[in-house]
Amino acid sequence: MAAYIFDRLRELGEKNTYPLHMPGHKRNLRFMPYDFRVYDITETGKTDNLHEPTDIIADAQKAMAELLGADESYFTVNGGSGGMVASVLACCDPGDNVLVASNCHKSVYSGLVMAGVNPIYISPQITEEGLCGGISIRDIFRAFDDYDIKAMIITSPTYEGFTCDVKTIADIVHKHNSILIVDECHGAHFIFSDKFPKCALSQGADVVVNSWHKTLPCLNQAAVISSKGGRVDSYRLREAVSMVNTTSPSYPIMASLDYARDLLSKDKNLFVEYLETLTDARHELAHCKTLKLVNDSIKGQHDIADVDISKFTIMVRTDITGIKLGKILLDKYNIQVELAGLHHIVALTTVADDPKGIKKFVKTITELDKKLERKYIEKIPMTSGAVAVPAMSPRDVYFSSKETVGIENAAGRIAAASIVPYPPGIPLVPMGQIITQEHIDTLGRLKAAGVSVMGMDSNNIITVRK
Ligand SMILES: Cc1ncc(COP(=O)(O)O)c(C=O)c1O
């Protein structure tokens, strides 16, 4: 017998690996100077109630809404995932058509099942190097021309830090009396500096979800859902948030949100040194040719409106994969990055990073870059049609009976779960869609390259029984 989770975490802790990944507190005591044991408490009468707040939680949520420029903001202790499920439940009725960017997170698909809505998937643009860009405005017009759409859901920024043109999208959505939900889980820090992309709420989004634990000094699962503009029923939103939250919410999580909001909005200087470190780092990385930093020059291409400078998205332009580079960084240099994909890595920084840690990463990448020879690598295409209606709604798929078929026999079958290469976690085949031979070929190539694929069990795919 052993304490399996505890033992592994202690072992990892002892290695003192530099964390270029979430959670955004980076174990930095300066940003979390408190003892979680003391704050791990329950509703005692003096600690308010997350589900019907009238005291400290109400005040903390109000202060958060003020900071974000929202009409209302609510805490979710179930991460951005809970927030995204709540956003669908709050804005849509069963049977509604919802325009869903196909690069949405798994939690959006859960929301689609729970709300019983009919998604129309819209694909993001894909860069030459296989990353998800923004959503094409032309495709959005086309979708609104063809369908009666209750709400649209987009991811902005993406995992790699690319934002969509939220303002233009919001204008189109509102002209069609529809609601814009933005998954801004990776952009909670945008509010703290104009060096970051503009916040979706300030660009006209109706509902926005921010995972504070990802890019700000908060405990894992700390997230906020906000609304603005009066298009969303306030009662429904509160009910939906309550449905995705436990009745025993973690006070350490809520306190970490509240503390970070207070600390960071009072002391703007905290971002000054961090932003200087980022600027210097990006400057140095710009010299690398093989390990190529994605920089501002991508703005305006592939419907990418802006780039988040806090993320180091580095393309691996040689014959090792991003997965291998991630392993080298960990094994040889004791650096753990957030994401190691087929052709790129993403290193996530936050205001709580030690500037020395960021500098160590930059030095390592520049040294490795000198040793690696640049080569052209053919990319595995991972895109599907621009606008597509699945053969079966996510809810019908969820309640259908299933059967597992070998990948070689899967063409023409309906995917019972989204088939998601991980990283980056974007469905190649969203649930309910028909699997094609092209998908099967792509999956074979991804697996051969060592990419793990969720929604598959070794070489089998779960499909809807015929
Ligand atoms: C784009 C996106 N949205 C939502 C989520 C879910 O957020 P959380 O981890 O806070 O539940 C993730 C998680 O990685 C994500 O990448």
What is 25-94 written as a DSSP string?
A: TTT-TTT--S-HHHH-----SSS--TTS--SHHHHHHHHHHHHHT-SEEEEETTHHHHHHHHHHHHH--T
Q: Identify the domain boundary among 218, 237, 266.
A: 266
Contact in structure between 281 and 258 (CB atoms under 8 Å): no
Strand order in the sheet with 460-464: 402-406, 460-464, 456-457
Closest C-alpha to ligand 1, atom 2: 105
Contact in structure between 166 and 201 (CB atoms under 8 Å): no
- Compute the distance between CA of residue 436 and CA of residue 434 in angstroms, rounded to an integer: 6
For the chain, how far is it from start to end, CA to CA, in angstroms?
44
Does the residue 152 lie in any domain? yes
Closest C-alpha to ligand 1, atom 3: 105
The answer to whether the CB of 73 is under 6 A from ligand 1 is: no
Q: Is 12 helix (H, G, I), strand (E, B) or coil?
A: helix
Contact in structure between 224 and 83 (CB atoms under 8 Å): yes
- Whether omega before 94 lies within 30 degrees of 0, making that bond cis, reads no
Does the residue 396 lie in any domain? yes
Residues 167, 52, single domain; the answer is yes
Q: Identify the domain boundary among 340, 371, 402.
A: 371
Q: Which of 105, 156, 250 to mutate to test the pocket of ligand 1 (most atoms within 8 A of CB)?
A: 105
220 CA: nearest ligand 1 atom = 10
Please tell me the number of Cα atoms within 13 Å of 10 on its side-chain side: 6
The answer to whether the CB of 312 is under 6 A from ligand 1 is: no
The answer to whether the CB of 81 is under 6 A from ligand 1 is: yes
The answer to whether the CB of 80 is under 6 A from ligand 1 is: yes
- Tell me, what's the pLDDT at 100? 96
Strand order in the sheet with 291-293: 291-293, 311-316, 344-348, 339-340
Paired tokens of 191: 């509010």
Closest C-alpha to ligand 1, atom 1: 105
Residues 115, 210, single domain; the answer is yes
We report the CATH number of the domain holding residue 400 as 3.90.100.10
Residues 256, 192, single domain; the answer is yes
Sequence-distant (6+) residues with CB within 8 A of 28 are: 217, 352, 353, 354
Please tell me the number of Cα atoms within 13 Å of 428 on its side-chain side: 30
- Tell me, what's the pLDDT at 385? 64
The answer to whether the CB of 79 is under 6 A from ligand 1 is: yes
Does the residue 455 lie in any domain? yes
Paired tokens of 160: 């790699």
Amino acid at 94: P
What letter would DSSP give residue 178? -
Between the CA of 372 and the centroid of ligand 1 the distance, in Å, is: 33
- Provide the residue range defining the domain that includes 448: 390-464
pLDDT tens digits in sequence order for the chain, 466 residues long: 799 999 999 999 999 999 999 999 999 999 998 888 999 999 998 999 999 999 999 999 999 999 999 999 999 999 999 999 999 999 999 999 999 998 899 899 999 999 999 999 998 998 888 888 999 999 999 999 999 999 999 999 999 999 999 999 999 999 999 999 999 999 999 999 999 999 999 999 999 999 999 999 999 999 999 999 999 999 999 999 999 999 999 999 999 999 999 999 999 889 999 999 999 999 999 999 999 999 999 999 999 999 999 999 999 999 899 999 999 999 999 999 999 988 999 999 999 999 999 999 999 999 999 999 988 877 776 665 688 899 999 999 999 999 999 999 999 999 999 898 865 567 889 889 999 999 999 998 888 887 888 888 888 999 999 8
Q: How many CB atoms lie within 10 A of CB 200?
A: 31
33 phi and psi, to 5 degrees?
-85, 50
Q: Which of 85, 106, 214 to mutate to test the pocket of ligand 1 (most atoms within 8 A of CB)?
A: 214
Residues 65, 110, single domain; the answer is yes
Residues 407, 350, single domain; the answer is no
Residues 139, 209, single domain; the answer is yes
Residues 407, 346, single domain; the answer is no
Between the CA of 188 and the centroid of ligand 1 the distance, in Å, is: 12
Does the residue 14 lie in any domain? no
Q: Which of 109, 211, 245 to mutate to test the pocket of ligand 1 (most atoms within 8 A of CB)?
A: 211
The answer to whether the CB of 163 is under 6 A from ligand 1 is: no
The answer to whether the CB of 223 is under 6 A from ligand 1 is: yes
For the entire predicted model, the pTM comes to 0.96
Please tell me the number of Cα atoms within 13 Å of 90 on its side-chain side: 33
Residues 305, 398, single domain; the answer is no
Closest C-alpha to ligand 1, atom 15: 105
The answer to whether the CB of 212 is under 6 A from ligand 1 is: no
Does the residue 398 lie in any domain? yes
We report the CATH number of the domain holding residue 74 as 3.40.640.10
Paired tokens of 263: 């600390």
Does the residue 377 lie in any domain? no
We report the CATH number of the domain holding residue 294 as 3.90.1150.150
Does the residue 2 lie in any domain? no
Residues 441, 334, single domain; the answer is no
Q: Identify the domain boundary among 314, 341, 371.
A: 371
- Compute the distance between CA of residue 424 and CA of residue 325 in angstroms, rounded to an integer: 15
Question: How many domains is the chain built from?
Answer: 3
Closest C-alpha to ligand 1, atom 14: 105
Strand partners, 316: 291
The answer to whether the CB of 250 is under 6 A from ligand 1 is: no
Does the residue 19 lie in any domain? no
Residues 82, 178, single domain; the answer is yes
- Compute the distance between CA of residue 257 and CA of residue 219 in angstroms, rounded to an integer: 8
Residues 412, 366, single domain; the answer is no
Residues 50, 187, single domain; the answer is yes
